[in-house]
Amino acid sequence: MTAQIPTAPGQSYAKQFAIYSALGEPRIKRETWRLLIVGDVENELGLSFEELERLPQVKLTRDFHCVTQWSIKDVVWEGVRFRDLASLARPKPEAKWVMFHCADGYLTPVPLADAMVEDSLIAIGMNGEPIAVEQGFPARPFIPHLYAWKSAKWLTKIELMEDYADGYWEARGYNERGNVSDEERFKDRERIKGK
């Protein structure tokens, strides 16, 4: 008898990814792409793809969870730990949030504490291949314990900030943090109204 594989609360495993692109699918040339790290940091950075590739790389196997209640089991992610990049930029003490900016204009905020966990990556590989265009080539953040809308495709800039600001889906009612195990899918409307 085969044991049932547990998944995150409210999620079911799917056999393949559903591909979303809220603002269209940009075409990015690896040769001219740069990843900027700006904002509340001591050392603003601009890294080419080759420079990002030369940083220490890690490979992790983690599930991928979409807020629309499907998950993909055992995706193999390769890339640079977010906290290694952050150590190069040296966040200022007031930095509490990270805003991921993408080539298509998409934005999403993540608490800096969530971005700094050990298995949070700026991913450049997926399942043994470079990340495909529809999956966010050339790089995307991946934070396994947060819903996938926080793992923004086509990453171009990481901005560290003191104060929270809405991104694309947060402005449309999605949760500020998006923690999978707590099922943080949507904002608390009563709290937003100040009640």
Q: Which of 14, 12, 54, 13 minimizes the C-alpha distance to 35?
A: 54
Q: What is the pLDDT of residue 41?
A: 97
Write the pLDDT tens digit of every residue in 3-17: 334 567 777 777 877
pTM, entire model:
0.87
Say whether pLDDT at 26 is over 70. Answer: yes
Q: What is the pLDDT of residue 7?
A: 67
CATH of the structural domain 33-192, one choice from 3.40.50.300, 3.90.420.10, 3.90.190.20, 3.40.630.10 = 3.90.420.10
Rounded average pLDDT over 8-34: 79
With b for 16 or more beta-carbon neighbours within 10 A and e for fewer, the 25-41 pattern comes to: ebebeeeebebbbbbbb
* Mean residue pLDDT across the chain: 88
Domain ranges in the chain are: 33-192
Give 189's pLDDT tier (boundaries 50, 70, 90): low
Q: What is the pLDDT of residue 46?
A: 96
CA 81 from centroid of its chain's CA atoms: 12
Say whether pLDDT at 74 is over 70. Answer: yes
Q: What is the pLDDT of residue 181?
A: 83
